[in-house]
Amino acid sequence: MKTLIRGGRIVTATDDYHADLLIEDGRIALIGHSLTVEADQVIDAQGLVVLPGGIDVHTHFDMPFGGTTSADDFASGTKAAAFGGTTTIIDFAIQSRGHSLQEGFETWLAKAEGKASIDYGFHMIVSEARPEILDEMQRMVDQGVTSFKMFTAYPGVFMVDDGGIFRALQRAADIGAMIAMHAENGSVIDVLVEQALARGEVAPKYHALTRPPQLEGEATHRVIVLAELTKAPLYIVHLSAADALDAVIAARDRGLDVYAETCPQYLFLSYDNYEEPGFDGAKYVMSPPLRPREHQERLWQGLKTDDLQVVATDHCPFCMKDQKVLGRDNFAKIPNGAPGVETRMSLIYDGGVAAGRLSLNRFVEITATMPAKLFGLFPQKGTIAVGSDADLILFDPSGETRWSSVTHHMRVDYNPYEGRVTRGAIRQVLSRGEVIVDGTQFRGREGRGQYLKRHSFVRP
Ligand code: URP
Ligand code: ZN
Ligand code: ZN
Protein backbone atom coordinates (compact mmCIF):
# COMPACT_ATOMS: atom_id res chain seq x y z
CA MET A 1 0.00 0.00 0.00
CA LYS A 2 1.43 3.38 -1.08
CA THR A 3 0.13 6.75 0.08
CA LEU A 4 1.35 10.08 -1.24
CA ILE A 5 0.88 13.22 0.85
CA ARG A 6 1.20 16.19 -1.47
CA GLY A 7 2.30 19.73 -0.81
CA GLY A 8 2.27 19.88 2.96
CA ARG A 9 4.54 21.91 5.21
CA ILE A 10 6.61 19.30 7.00
CA VAL A 11 7.70 20.27 10.49
CA THR A 12 9.95 18.24 12.79
CA ALA A 13 11.88 19.25 15.91
CA THR A 14 14.55 20.71 13.62
CA ASP A 15 13.12 21.17 10.10
CA ASP A 16 10.42 23.20 8.42
CA TYR A 17 9.92 22.88 4.64
CA HIS A 18 7.34 22.13 1.94
CA ALA A 19 7.57 18.70 0.29
CA ASP A 20 5.71 15.58 -0.82
CA LEU A 21 5.92 12.48 1.29
CA LEU A 22 5.55 8.88 0.09
CA ILE A 23 4.47 6.21 2.56
CA GLU A 24 5.03 2.58 1.76
CA ASP A 25 3.98 -0.31 4.01
CA GLY A 26 3.46 1.97 6.97
CA ARG A 27 6.81 3.74 6.80
CA ILE A 28 8.04 6.94 5.23
CA ALA A 29 9.74 5.84 2.01
CA LEU A 30 10.56 9.08 0.23
CA ILE A 31 10.45 12.83 0.85
CA GLY A 32 10.97 15.22 -2.06
CA HIS A 33 9.68 18.02 -4.22
CA SER A 34 6.93 17.26 -6.77
CA LEU A 35 7.39 13.51 -6.51
CA THR A 36 6.30 11.63 -9.64
CA VAL A 37 5.40 8.28 -8.15
CA GLU A 38 2.41 5.97 -8.42
CA ALA A 39 0.35 5.71 -5.22
CA ASP A 40 -2.84 3.89 -4.17
CA GLN A 41 -3.99 6.94 -2.28
CA VAL A 42 -3.15 10.64 -2.64
CA ILE A 43 -3.80 13.10 0.20
CA ASP A 44 -3.76 16.81 -0.60
CA ALA A 45 -2.00 18.64 2.24
CA GLN A 46 -1.85 22.12 0.64
CA GLY A 47 -2.23 24.68 3.41
CA LEU A 48 -1.71 22.05 6.11
CA VAL A 49 1.18 21.37 8.44
CA VAL A 50 2.42 17.77 8.52
CA LEU A 51 3.58 16.95 12.05
CA PRO A 52 4.89 13.77 13.68
CA GLY A 53 2.10 12.03 15.58
CA GLY A 54 2.08 12.96 19.25
CA ILE A 55 3.60 10.65 21.84
CA ASP A 56 1.97 10.71 25.26
CA VAL A 57 4.30 8.96 27.69
CA HIS A 58 1.97 9.19 30.67
CA THR A 59 -1.46 7.52 30.52
CA HIS A 60 -3.44 5.35 32.92
CA PHE A 61 -5.98 3.32 30.97
CA ASP A 62 -8.07 0.73 32.79
CA MET A 63 -6.19 1.40 36.01
CA PRO A 64 -7.55 0.26 39.37
CA PHE A 65 -7.00 3.21 41.70
CA GLY A 66 -8.68 4.92 44.63
CA GLY A 67 -11.32 2.20 45.00
CA THR A 68 -12.41 2.33 41.37
CA THR A 69 -10.96 2.00 37.85
CA SER A 70 -10.00 4.78 35.45
CA ALA A 71 -12.87 5.34 33.05
CA ASP A 72 -11.03 4.90 29.75
CA ASP A 73 -9.84 1.46 28.75
CA PHE A 74 -7.38 0.86 25.92
CA ALA A 75 -10.18 0.97 23.33
CA SER A 76 -11.77 4.27 24.30
CA GLY A 77 -8.50 5.82 25.50
CA THR A 78 -6.48 5.16 22.36
CA LYS A 79 -9.37 6.26 20.14
CA ALA A 80 -9.59 9.55 22.06
CA ALA A 81 -5.81 9.88 21.83
CA ALA A 82 -6.00 9.45 18.04
CA PHE A 83 -8.64 12.18 17.72
CA GLY A 84 -6.28 14.40 19.67
CA GLY A 85 -3.34 13.73 17.32
CA THR A 86 -1.54 11.25 19.56
CA THR A 87 -0.39 8.11 17.77
CA THR A 88 1.69 6.47 20.50
CA ILE A 89 1.11 6.13 24.22
CA ILE A 90 3.17 4.70 27.04
CA ASP A 91 0.88 3.48 29.79
CA PHE A 92 1.80 2.47 33.34
CA ALA A 93 1.59 -1.24 34.10
CA ILE A 94 1.47 -1.95 37.82
CA GLN A 95 3.39 -4.34 40.01
CA SER A 96 0.92 -4.79 42.87
CA ARG A 97 2.34 -5.59 46.27
CA GLY A 98 2.97 -9.31 46.68
CA HIS A 99 3.08 -9.84 42.91
CA SER A 100 5.84 -9.86 40.33
CA LEU A 101 6.76 -7.37 37.62
CA GLN A 102 6.06 -10.08 35.02
CA GLU A 103 2.49 -10.49 36.31
CA GLY A 104 1.97 -6.73 36.03
CA PHE A 105 3.39 -6.70 32.51
CA GLU A 106 1.21 -9.58 31.33
CA THR A 107 -1.89 -8.08 32.94
CA TRP A 108 -1.36 -4.80 31.08
CA LEU A 109 -0.55 -6.55 27.79
CA ALA A 110 -3.89 -8.37 28.11
CA LYS A 111 -5.70 -5.08 28.77
CA ALA A 112 -4.24 -3.53 25.61
CA GLU A 113 -4.20 -6.40 23.13
CA GLY A 114 -7.23 -6.46 20.87
CA LYS A 115 -8.29 -3.03 22.08
CA ALA A 116 -5.64 -0.41 21.34
CA SER A 117 -6.00 1.37 18.01
CA ILE A 118 -2.62 3.14 18.23
CA ASP A 119 0.80 1.79 19.17
CA TYR A 120 1.62 1.46 22.84
CA GLY A 121 4.38 0.64 25.27
CA PHE A 122 4.55 0.29 29.04
CA HIS A 123 6.44 1.70 31.97
CA MET A 124 6.29 -0.48 35.07
CA ILE A 125 5.17 0.87 38.44
CA VAL A 126 7.37 -0.70 41.11
CA SER A 127 5.57 -0.72 44.44
CA GLU A 128 8.11 -2.80 46.37
CA ALA A 129 11.89 -2.90 46.13
CA ARG A 130 12.38 -6.49 47.37
CA PRO A 131 15.44 -8.31 45.95
CA GLU A 132 13.28 -10.51 43.65
CA ILE A 133 11.64 -7.40 42.16
CA LEU A 134 14.98 -5.67 41.62
CA ASP A 135 16.27 -8.83 39.94
CA GLU A 136 13.25 -8.89 37.65
CA MET A 137 13.94 -5.41 36.27
CA GLN A 138 16.40 -6.84 33.73
CA ARG A 139 13.70 -9.23 32.48
CA MET A 140 11.42 -6.23 31.91
CA VAL A 141 14.11 -4.40 29.94
CA ASP A 142 14.57 -7.53 27.79
CA GLN A 143 10.84 -7.33 26.97
CA GLY A 144 10.97 -3.64 26.08
CA VAL A 145 9.83 -2.13 29.38
CA THR A 146 12.83 0.11 29.93
CA SER A 147 11.44 2.59 32.47
CA PHE A 148 10.07 2.13 35.97
CA LYS A 149 7.87 4.48 37.94
CA MET A 150 8.34 4.87 41.66
CA PHE A 151 6.56 7.00 44.22
CA THR A 152 7.52 9.08 47.23
CA ALA A 153 3.74 9.56 47.61
CA TYR A 154 0.70 7.34 48.36
CA PRO A 155 2.03 5.60 51.53
CA GLY A 156 0.59 2.10 51.87
CA VAL A 157 -0.19 1.84 48.16
CA PHE A 158 2.74 2.75 45.92
CA MET A 159 5.23 4.56 48.16
CA VAL A 160 8.66 2.97 48.50
CA ASP A 161 11.10 4.28 51.13
CA ASP A 162 14.27 6.14 50.16
CA GLY A 163 16.42 3.03 50.60
CA GLY A 164 14.22 1.10 48.19
CA ILE A 165 14.24 3.93 45.67
CA PHE A 166 18.02 4.10 45.99
CA ARG A 167 18.35 0.36 45.30
CA ALA A 168 16.10 0.61 42.25
CA LEU A 169 18.12 3.55 40.95
CA GLN A 170 21.32 1.53 41.37
CA ARG A 171 19.79 -1.34 39.40
CA ALA A 172 18.48 1.04 36.72
CA ALA A 173 21.96 2.50 36.28
CA ASP A 174 23.34 -1.04 35.78
CA ILE A 175 20.79 -2.15 33.19
CA GLY A 176 20.29 1.02 31.13
CA ALA A 177 16.81 1.78 32.47
CA MET A 178 15.18 5.05 33.46
CA ILE A 179 13.45 5.68 36.79
CA ALA A 180 10.40 7.94 36.53
CA MET A 181 9.50 9.51 39.85
CA HIS A 182 6.25 10.76 41.32
CA ALA A 183 7.85 13.23 43.72
CA GLU A 184 5.69 14.47 46.59
CA ASN A 185 6.41 13.88 50.29
CA GLY A 186 3.63 11.36 50.96
CA SER A 187 4.32 10.87 54.69
CA VAL A 188 3.97 14.58 55.50
CA ILE A 189 0.95 14.89 53.20
CA ASP A 190 -0.75 12.10 55.17
CA VAL A 191 -0.28 14.11 58.39
CA LEU A 192 -1.73 17.24 56.79
CA VAL A 193 -4.69 15.26 55.43
CA GLU A 194 -5.41 13.70 58.81
CA GLN A 195 -5.27 17.12 60.51
CA ALA A 196 -7.49 18.76 57.87
CA LEU A 197 -10.13 16.04 58.18
CA ALA A 198 -10.04 16.36 61.99
CA ARG A 199 -10.90 20.05 61.56
CA GLY A 200 -13.85 19.11 59.35
CA GLU A 201 -12.18 20.35 56.16
CA VAL A 202 -13.64 17.88 53.69
CA ALA A 203 -14.21 19.87 50.47
CA PRO A 204 -12.19 19.14 47.28
CA LYS A 205 -10.00 22.25 47.69
CA TYR A 206 -8.39 20.70 50.77
CA HIS A 207 -6.82 18.13 48.49
CA ALA A 208 -4.64 20.95 47.16
CA LEU A 209 -4.15 22.67 50.49
CA THR A 210 -2.78 19.48 52.08
CA ARG A 211 -0.28 18.92 49.24
CA PRO A 212 1.68 22.20 49.21
CA PRO A 213 4.24 22.87 46.46
CA GLN A 214 7.12 22.79 48.97
CA LEU A 215 6.48 19.06 49.47
CA GLU A 216 6.86 18.50 45.74
CA GLY A 217 10.03 20.61 45.72
CA GLU A 218 11.49 18.71 48.67
CA ALA A 219 10.78 15.26 47.21
CA THR A 220 12.08 16.28 43.78
CA HIS A 221 15.32 17.51 45.32
CA ARG A 222 15.61 14.33 47.40
CA VAL A 223 15.23 11.91 44.48
CA ILE A 224 17.65 13.97 42.40
CA VAL A 225 20.29 13.53 45.13
CA LEU A 226 19.67 9.77 45.13
CA ALA A 227 19.92 9.63 41.34
CA GLU A 228 23.14 11.64 41.36
CA LEU A 229 24.75 9.21 43.81
CA THR A 230 23.80 6.23 41.63
CA LYS A 231 24.43 7.92 38.25
CA ALA A 232 21.03 6.69 37.06
CA PRO A 233 18.97 8.78 34.63
CA LEU A 234 15.93 10.27 36.34
CA TYR A 235 12.66 11.53 34.89
CA ILE A 236 10.31 13.57 37.07
CA VAL A 237 6.70 12.94 36.06
CA HIS A 238 3.86 15.46 36.18
CA LEU A 239 5.95 18.34 37.55
CA SER A 240 3.52 21.00 38.68
CA ALA A 241 5.34 23.49 40.88
CA ALA A 242 8.08 26.09 40.52
CA ASP A 243 9.65 24.62 43.67
CA ALA A 244 10.22 21.31 41.84
CA LEU A 245 11.31 23.05 38.65
CA ASP A 246 14.03 24.89 40.61
CA ALA A 247 15.41 21.53 41.77
CA VAL A 248 15.42 20.21 38.19
CA ILE A 249 17.11 23.36 36.87
CA ALA A 250 19.85 23.11 39.50
CA ALA A 251 20.43 19.44 38.65
CA ARG A 252 20.57 20.03 34.90
CA ASP A 253 22.90 22.98 35.41
CA ARG A 254 25.24 20.54 37.16
CA GLY A 255 25.07 18.30 34.08
CA LEU A 256 23.02 15.48 35.62
CA ASP A 257 20.84 13.14 33.55
CA VAL A 258 17.68 14.63 35.03
CA TYR A 259 14.62 15.20 32.85
CA ALA A 260 11.09 16.31 33.61
CA GLU A 261 7.63 16.46 32.13
CA THR A 262 4.80 18.78 32.93
CA CYS A 263 1.17 18.37 31.85
CA PRO A 264 -1.36 20.75 30.27
CA GLN A 265 -3.45 20.93 33.44
CA TYR A 266 -0.56 22.66 35.24
CA LEU A 267 -0.17 25.14 32.38
CA PHE A 268 -3.85 25.99 31.87
CA LEU A 269 -5.67 25.35 35.15
CA SER A 270 -4.90 26.55 38.66
CA TYR A 271 -5.87 26.35 42.33
CA ASP A 272 -8.80 28.66 41.46
CA ASN A 273 -10.55 25.69 39.84
CA TYR A 274 -10.94 24.07 43.26
CA GLU A 275 -13.07 27.05 44.28
CA GLU A 276 -15.70 26.24 41.62
CA PRO A 277 -19.20 25.90 43.14
CA GLY A 278 -20.54 22.80 44.88
CA PHE A 279 -18.52 19.64 44.36
CA ASP A 280 -17.11 20.73 40.96
CA GLY A 281 -13.62 21.15 42.44
CA ALA A 282 -13.48 17.33 42.44
CA LYS A 283 -12.97 17.43 38.66
CA TYR A 284 -9.46 18.70 39.32
CA VAL A 285 -8.48 16.41 42.16
CA MET A 286 -5.21 14.92 40.95
CA SER A 287 -1.76 14.55 42.41
CA PRO A 288 0.19 16.74 42.42
CA PRO A 289 -2.72 19.20 42.62
CA LEU A 290 -3.26 22.32 40.54
CA ARG A 291 -1.10 25.17 41.80
CA PRO A 292 -1.64 28.91 42.28
CA ARG A 293 -1.64 30.69 38.93
CA GLU A 294 1.86 32.15 39.29
CA HIS A 295 3.43 28.70 38.75
CA GLN A 296 2.08 28.51 35.19
CA GLU A 297 4.41 31.03 33.54
CA ARG A 298 7.42 29.41 35.23
CA LEU A 299 6.44 26.09 33.63
CA TRP A 300 5.99 27.66 30.18
CA GLN A 301 9.39 29.26 30.60
CA GLY A 302 10.84 25.87 31.58
CA LEU A 303 9.47 24.35 28.39
CA LYS A 304 10.98 27.15 26.34
CA THR A 305 14.43 26.90 27.91
CA ASP A 306 14.59 23.07 27.92
CA ASP A 307 14.49 22.82 31.70
CA LEU A 308 11.35 20.78 31.02
CA GLN A 309 11.64 18.38 28.10
CA VAL A 310 8.20 16.80 27.72
CA VAL A 311 4.51 17.57 27.94
CA ALA A 312 2.54 14.41 28.76
CA THR A 313 -0.97 14.14 30.16
CA ASP A 314 -1.18 11.86 33.21
CA HIS A 315 -4.55 10.95 31.67
CA CYS A 316 -6.41 9.20 34.49
CA PRO A 317 -10.12 9.97 34.10
CA PHE A 318 -12.85 9.34 36.65
CA CYS A 319 -16.49 10.24 36.04
CA MET A 320 -18.06 12.81 38.33
CA LYS A 321 -21.27 10.79 38.51
CA ASP A 322 -20.14 7.44 39.90
CA GLN A 323 -16.50 7.91 40.74
CA LYS A 324 -15.45 11.37 41.94
CA VAL A 325 -18.57 11.31 44.10
CA LEU A 326 -16.94 8.62 46.28
CA GLY A 327 -15.29 11.55 48.04
CA ARG A 328 -18.29 13.84 48.39
CA ASP A 329 -17.86 13.96 52.18
CA ASN A 330 -14.11 13.47 52.30
CA PHE A 331 -11.68 14.93 49.73
CA ALA A 332 -9.18 12.13 50.54
CA LYS A 333 -11.59 9.61 49.01
CA ILE A 334 -11.94 11.42 45.67
CA PRO A 335 -10.16 9.25 43.08
CA ASN A 336 -7.04 11.12 41.97
CA GLY A 337 -6.80 11.94 38.29
CA ALA A 338 -8.26 13.82 35.35
CA PRO A 339 -8.73 13.34 31.60
CA GLY A 340 -6.38 14.88 29.03
CA VAL A 341 -5.19 12.43 26.38
CA GLU A 342 -7.35 14.05 23.69
CA THR A 343 -6.71 17.70 24.52
CA ARG A 344 -2.90 17.75 24.98
CA MET A 345 -1.71 18.53 21.44
CA SER A 346 -4.37 21.18 20.81
CA LEU A 347 -3.83 22.94 24.12
CA ILE A 348 -0.05 23.06 23.78
CA TYR A 349 -0.30 24.30 20.19
CA ASP A 350 -2.73 26.99 21.30
CA GLY A 351 -1.02 28.12 24.51
CA GLY A 352 2.48 27.48 23.18
CA VAL A 353 2.74 28.16 19.44
CA ALA A 354 -0.32 30.32 18.72
CA ALA A 355 0.31 32.39 21.86
CA GLY A 356 3.92 33.00 20.81
CA ARG A 357 5.58 31.19 23.72
CA LEU A 358 7.06 28.28 21.72
CA SER A 359 8.24 27.74 18.16
CA LEU A 360 6.52 25.08 16.08
CA ASN A 361 9.76 23.05 16.15
CA ARG A 362 9.82 23.18 19.94
CA PHE A 363 6.16 22.12 20.01
CA VAL A 364 7.10 18.99 18.05
CA GLU A 365 10.10 18.41 20.25
CA ILE A 366 8.21 18.41 23.57
CA THR A 367 5.15 16.50 22.33
CA ALA A 368 6.80 13.86 20.14
CA THR A 369 10.56 13.89 19.59
CA MET A 370 11.86 14.09 23.16
CA PRO A 371 9.29 11.59 24.45
CA ALA A 372 10.53 9.19 21.75
CA LYS A 373 14.19 9.84 22.50
CA LEU A 374 13.93 9.59 26.28
CA PHE A 375 11.85 6.42 26.18
CA GLY A 376 13.62 4.34 23.56
CA LEU A 377 11.35 4.83 20.55
CA PHE A 378 13.43 7.16 18.36
CA PRO A 379 13.75 7.23 15.34
CA GLN A 380 10.94 4.73 14.72
CA LYS A 381 8.64 7.26 16.35
CA GLY A 382 8.79 10.99 17.08
CA THR A 383 9.97 12.41 13.78
CA ILE A 384 9.34 12.56 10.03
CA ALA A 385 12.24 10.87 8.28
CA VAL A 386 12.80 8.16 5.70
CA GLY A 387 12.42 4.84 7.51
CA SER A 388 10.35 6.18 10.41
CA ASP A 389 6.81 4.97 11.01
CA ALA A 390 4.32 7.12 9.12
CA ASP A 391 2.59 8.41 12.25
CA LEU A 392 1.42 11.83 11.15
CA ILE A 393 -0.96 14.67 11.90
CA LEU A 394 -2.34 16.88 9.14
CA PHE A 395 -2.88 20.07 11.06
CA ASP A 396 -4.75 23.15 9.90
CA PRO A 397 -3.36 26.25 11.65
CA SER A 398 -6.24 28.36 10.35
CA GLY A 399 -8.92 26.15 11.93
CA GLU A 400 -10.18 26.11 15.49
CA THR A 401 -11.41 23.46 17.91
CA ARG A 402 -14.11 23.79 20.56
CA TRP A 403 -13.80 21.44 23.54
CA SER A 404 -16.74 19.85 25.31
CA SER A 405 -17.63 16.63 27.09
CA VAL A 406 -20.51 16.33 24.61
CA THR A 407 -18.17 16.00 21.63
CA HIS A 408 -14.93 14.63 23.07
CA HIS A 409 -14.12 10.92 22.72
CA MET A 410 -12.78 10.29 26.22
CA ARG A 411 -15.18 8.11 28.24
CA VAL A 412 -15.67 10.60 31.01
CA ASP A 413 -18.61 12.87 31.83
CA TYR A 414 -16.76 16.19 32.02
CA ASN A 415 -13.99 18.04 30.25
CA PRO A 416 -11.70 20.24 32.38
CA TYR A 417 -11.53 22.65 29.42
CA GLU A 418 -15.29 22.78 28.75
CA GLY A 419 -16.13 25.57 26.30
CA ARG A 420 -12.52 26.48 25.55
CA VAL A 421 -11.65 27.15 21.91
CA THR A 422 -8.12 26.27 20.80
CA ARG A 423 -6.55 27.75 17.69
CA GLY A 424 -5.78 25.15 14.99
CA ALA A 425 -7.59 21.96 14.00
CA ILE A 426 -6.52 18.38 13.40
CA ARG A 427 -7.82 17.33 9.96
CA GLN A 428 -6.37 13.84 9.62
CA VAL A 429 -4.28 11.45 11.69
CA LEU A 430 -2.26 8.58 10.25
CA SER A 431 -0.82 5.68 12.20
CA ARG A 432 1.76 3.60 10.32
CA GLY A 433 0.39 5.07 7.11
CA GLU A 434 -3.28 4.27 7.80
CA VAL A 435 -5.70 7.16 8.07
CA ILE A 436 -7.26 6.50 11.47
CA VAL A 437 -8.94 9.89 11.96
CA ASP A 438 -10.51 11.70 9.04
CA GLY A 439 -12.23 14.90 10.19
CA THR A 440 -14.87 13.74 12.64
CA GLN A 441 -14.72 10.11 11.43
CA PHE A 442 -12.80 7.37 13.19
CA ARG A 443 -11.33 5.05 10.60
CA GLY A 444 -9.09 3.11 12.94
CA ARG A 445 -9.82 -0.30 14.37
CA GLU A 446 -9.64 -1.73 17.86
CA GLY A 447 -6.67 -4.07 18.09
CA ARG A 448 -4.64 -2.56 15.24
CA GLY A 449 -2.27 -0.91 17.74
CA GLN A 450 1.00 -2.77 18.23
CA TYR A 451 3.06 -3.31 21.37
CA LEU A 452 6.30 -1.34 21.19
CA LYS A 453 9.38 -3.02 22.56
CA ARG A 454 11.42 0.00 23.64
CA HIS A 455 15.19 0.16 23.69
CA SER A 456 17.33 1.10 26.69
CA PHE A 457 18.01 4.66 27.77
CA VAL A 458 20.30 6.67 25.51
CA ARG A 459 21.17 10.24 26.50
CA PRO A 460 19.35 12.48 23.98
O1 URP B 1 -3.72 12.07 40.26
C2 URP B 1 -3.04 11.36 39.54
N3 URP B 1 -1.91 11.83 39.08
N4 URP B 1 -3.47 10.13 39.22
C5 URP B 1 -2.76 9.15 38.48
C6 URP B 1 -1.70 8.44 39.24
C7 URP B 1 -0.40 9.20 39.29
O8 URP B 1 0.11 9.47 40.37
O9 URP B 1 0.15 9.51 38.25
ZN1 ZN C 1 2.09 10.04 39.68
ZN1 ZN D 1 0.19 9.30 36.45
Query: Would the CB of 182 count as within 6 Å of ligand 1?
Result: yes
Query: Would the CB of 216 count as within 6 Å of ligand 1?
Result: no
Tens-of-pLDDT digits for all 460 residues of the chain? 999 999 999 999 999 999 999 999 999 999 999 999 999 999 999 999 999 999 999 999 999 999 999 999 999 999 999 999 999 999 999 999 999 999 999 999 999 999 999 999 999 999 999 999 999 999 999 999 999 999 999 999 999 999 999 999 999 999 999 999 999 999 999 999 999 999 999 999 999 999 999 999 999 999 999 999 999 999 999 999 999 999 999 999 999 999 999 999 999 999 999 999 999 999 999 999 999 999 999 999 999 999 999 999 999 999 999 999 999 999 999 999 999 999 999 999 999 999 999 999 999 999 999 999 999 999 999 999 999 999 999 999 999 999 999 999 999 999 999 999 999 999 999 999 999 999 999 999 999 999 999 999 999 9
223 CB-near residues (< 8 Å, 6+ apart): 152, 165, 181, 183, 234, 236
Query: Would the CB of 211 count as within 6 Å of ligand 1?
Result: no
- Give the pLDDT confidence score for residue 303 in this predicted structure: 98
- Give the pLDDT confidence score for residue 219 in this predicted structure: 98
- Pairwise CA distance, residues 315 & 11, whole Å: 26
- The single-letter DSSP state of residue 387 is T
Q: Closest Cα to atom 9, ligand 1: which residue?
A: 314
Quickly name the fold that domain 53-374 has: TIM Barrel (3.20.20)
Strand partners, 10: 17, 50
Query: Would the CB of 240 count as within 6 Å of ligand 1?
Result: no
| CA-closest candidate to residue 331, choices 374, 377, 295, 287 | 287
The answer to pTM > 0.95 is yes
- Give the pLDDT confidence score for residue 198 in this predicted structure: 98
- Give the pLDDT confidence score for residue 108 in this predicted structure: 98
* Residue 338 CA, ligand 1 centroid: distance in Å: 8
Q: Closest Cα to atom 8, ligand 1: which residue?
A: 287
Q: Which CATH superfamily is domain 2-51+390-442 in?
A: Urease, subunit C, domain 1 (2.30.40.10)
Decide if 302 contacts 262 (C-beta within 8 A): yes
- Please state the domain extents for the chain: 2-51+390-442, 53-374
| Shortest-distance atom of ligand 1 to CA 58 | 9
Q: Closest Cα to atom 4, ligand 1: which residue?
A: 337
- Give the pLDDT confidence score for residue 78 in this predicted structure: 99
Residue 98: CB atoms within 10 A of its CB come to 9
- Give the pLDDT confidence score for residue 119 in this predicted structure: 99
Q: Closest Cα to atom 2, ligand 1: which residue?
A: 337
* Residue 240 CA, ligand 1 centroid: distance in Å: 12
